[in-house]
Amino acid sequence: MSDALLRRAEELDGDDRLAKIRDRFALDTSPDRPAGAAEVYLDGNSLGALPHGVAARLQDVVEREWGRLRIRSWDESGWWTAPERVGDRIAPLIGAAPGQVVVGDSTSVNVFKALVAAVRMAPDGRDEVLVDAATFPTDGYIAESAARMTGCTVRPVAAVDMAAEVGPRTAVALVNHVDYRTGRLHDLPGTTAAAHAAGALVVWDLCHSAGALPVRLDEHGVDLAVGCTYKYLNGGPGSPAYLYIRRDLQPRFDSPLPGWNSHTDPFGMRPHYAPADGVLRGRVGTPEILSMLALDAALEAWDGVAIEDVRHKSLALTDFFLECVAELVPDGLVESITPAEHALRGSQVSLRCRGAGEVMAALIERGVVGDFRRPDVLRFGFTPLYTRYVDALRAADTLADVLR
Ligand SMILES: Cc1ncc(COP(=O)(O)O)c(C=O)c1O
Ligand SMILES: Nc1c(O)cccc1C(=O)C[C@H](N)C(=O)O
């Protein structure tokens, strides 16, 4: 490892305003590694690390709220209103004013709700759903079904061409804010404006951007957005997803899954559906209380953290990693498919390389955990809340070793 790079990494860590936030996470114990020898965890874009405090909160929820208060907890412990309350906690991280984010169900289910509701809100006669051609697969599968159910057809379009392709037939465009494979950041303001100019709506999938960079949904007039909470928001495996419904669209949001939790009078047990006001319309059935409250506790890791600082560190970390790779890895063995330009980069670096599956297995064996996406991509996710510059250097150095 180069001494100069190590000195740089240590200096960058010394100047890092977010350095202390790492202490909020359980990262210093890893399987098969001596205590204190933390692995380098670069897979927070798939499953975020565990924030301290979650286990104790869950224990209280299970033992006291469920174990002792039992049914009373729906009111007394605030379980019934948790979807909106936790939604309001996520809201500032995605640039939303309160009352527009509801938590529950999976991202896939929320993509379905958002797409069908969007088609129902689009001007009459629109029969086309545009889908980011490189989308994470679940969005594409759900879009196909949503389109069939609403008499539309799906047209795959590269996310970079979406603004130019929305037209008079488009009901809605579904776009990933950051591409899960390449880490490319797509143009949310421009695409949203172009869709609106064409009379269409846009649904943004924020799975790979929320908690990694400023999203500014309200500022850019986004219609609907969905995202998971188990990546950069660290909610835990299977933590519930969220749905953003812009306030002025809420009265027209006609859910394709009108479950009793979104009824105006859920305990009236009425035979016919009448939607509640507000973002509650995005709810379906009984909320996933245990995982939702784990997420609620996990969000405490964000206390006092400015998303602008997160973005600053994310770009600096990914820059530094790319620089270390360029210096340490012999020429020609890897090729970055993540844009070098900051405006086009999310918070991961994807490197194409031969034998990527075996290379990632060897990295994990040596304590550097990223992931492999077929056929040939090594993915390294940089979670600014807990990743250090020395981690970026160790990852690049270990990669160079493995490839040699
Ligand atoms: C962009 C994107 N959308 C959706 C999902 C997953 O959806 P779900 O939470 O329904 O599994 C993922 C990752 O799993 C993803 O990366
Ligand atoms: N949601 C996941 C899961 O349940 C198991 C394993 C991985 C995931 C992921 O989140 C994958 C991730 N969306 C990706 O970008 O590849």
Establish whether residue 84 lines the binding site of ligand 1, counting it when its CB lies within 6 angstroms of any ligand atom: no
Site to substitute for ligand 2 among 42, 43, 45, 46, most atoms within 8 A of C-beta: 46
pLDDT digits (tens, 9 = 90+) for 29-38: 666 666 556 8
Average pLDDT, the chain: 97
Sign of CA dihedral 56, 57, 58, 60: positive
Q: Which of 20-34, 202-216, 301-315, 365-379 has the lowest mean pLDDT?
A: 20-34
The pLDDT, as a whole number, for residue 31 is: 64
Mean pLDDT of 68-85: 98
Q: Does pLDDT of 325 surpass 80?
A: yes
Q: Active-site residue 321, yes or no?
A: no
Looking at all shown ligands, the one closest to residue 348's CA atom is 2
Ligand 1 geometric centre to CA of 112 (Å): 12
Pairing of strands 101-103, 224-227: unpaired
The pLDDT, as a whole number, for residue 38 is: 80
Identify the band that residue 263 occupies on the pLDDT scale cut at 50, 70 and 90. very high
- Marked catalytic residue, from 379, 386, 388, 394: 379
Q: Active-site residue 155, yes or no?
A: no
Identify the band that residue 2 occupies on the pLDDT scale cut at 50, 70 and 90. confident
157: which 2 tokens? 């379009």
What is the rounded radius of gyration, in angstroms, for the C-alpha atoms of the chain?
22
Establish whether residue 110 lines the binding site of ligand 1, counting it when its CB lies within 6 angstroms of any ligand atom: no
The domains located in the chain, with CATH, are 3-38+306-403 (3.90.1150.10), 56-302 (3.40.640.10)
Q: Active-site residue 136, yes or no?
A: yes
269: which 2 tokens? 């047990």
Site to substitute for ligand 1 among 207, 348, 377, most atoms within 8 A of C-beta: 207
- Marked catalytic residue, from 25, 41, 230, 389: 230
- Marked catalytic residue, from 16, 43, 205, 296: 205
Q: What are the two backbone dihedrals, phi and then psi, of residue 203, each rounded to the nearest 5 degrees? A: -115, 125
- Residue 23: burial class (beta carbons within 10 Å; 0-12, 13-18, 19+): exposed
Q: 28 or 243, which is more confident?
A: 243
Ligand 1 atom having least distance to the Cα of 205: 1
C-alpha–C-alpha distance, residues 116 and 78, integer Å: 30
Nearest to 248 by CA among 290, 279, 276, 220: 279
Q: Does pLDDT of 360 surpass 60?
A: yes
Nearest CA to ligand 2 atom 9: 46
Annotated binding site: 107-108, 136-139, 205, 208, 230, 260, 286
Site to substitute for ligand 2 among 42, 43, 45, 47, most atoms within 8 A of C-beta: 47
Q: Does pLDDT of 28 surpass 60?
A: yes
Looking at all shown ligands, the one closest to residue 179's CA atom is 1
The pLDDT, as a whole number, for residue 39 is: 93
pLDDT digits (tens, 9 = 90+) for 110-164: 999 999 999 999 999 999 999 999 999 999 999 999 999 999 999 999 999 999 9
C-alpha–C-alpha distance, residues 270 and 293, integer Å: 29
Mean pLDDT of 359-376: 96
The pLDDT, as a whole number, for residue 127 is: 98
Q: Active-site residue 205, yes or no?
A: yes
- Marked catalytic residue, from 25, 112, 136, 389: 136
Identify the band that residue 295 occupies on the pLDDT scale cut at 50, 70 and 90. very high
Share above pLDDT 70 across residues of the chain, in percent, rounded to a whole number = 98
The pLDDT, as a whole number, for residue 1 is: 73
Ligand 2 geometric centre to CA of 106 (Å): 12
Annotated binding site for pyridoxal 5'-phosphate: 107-108, 136-139, 205, 208, 230, 260, 286
Ligand 1 geometric centre to CA of 207 (Å): 6
CB 380 within 8 A of CB 395: yes
In 152-272, alpha helices (H)? 162-165, 188-197
SS (H, E, C) 313-340: HHHHHHHHHHHHHHHHCCCCCEEECCCC
Ligand 1 geometric centre to CA of 137 (Å): 8
Mean pLDDT of 380-391: 98
Pairing of strands 128-132, 153-157: parallel
The pLDDT, as a whole number, for residue 29 is: 67
Q: Active-site residue 231, yes or no?
A: yes
Mean pLDDT of 312-333: 98
Length of the chain: 404
Nearest CA to ligand 2 atom 6: 46
Establish whether residue 232 lines the binding site of ligand 2, counting it when its CB lies within 6 angstroms of any ligand atom: no
Strands (E), 181-319: 201-205, 224-227, 242-245
Sign of CA dihedral 226, 227, 229, 233: negative
- Residue 163: burial class (beta carbons within 10 Å; 0-12, 13-18, 19+): buried
pLDDT digits (tens, 9 = 90+) for 207-258: 999 999 999 999 999 999 999 999 999 999 999 999 999 999 999 999 999 9
Give the distance from CA 255 to its chain's centroid: 23
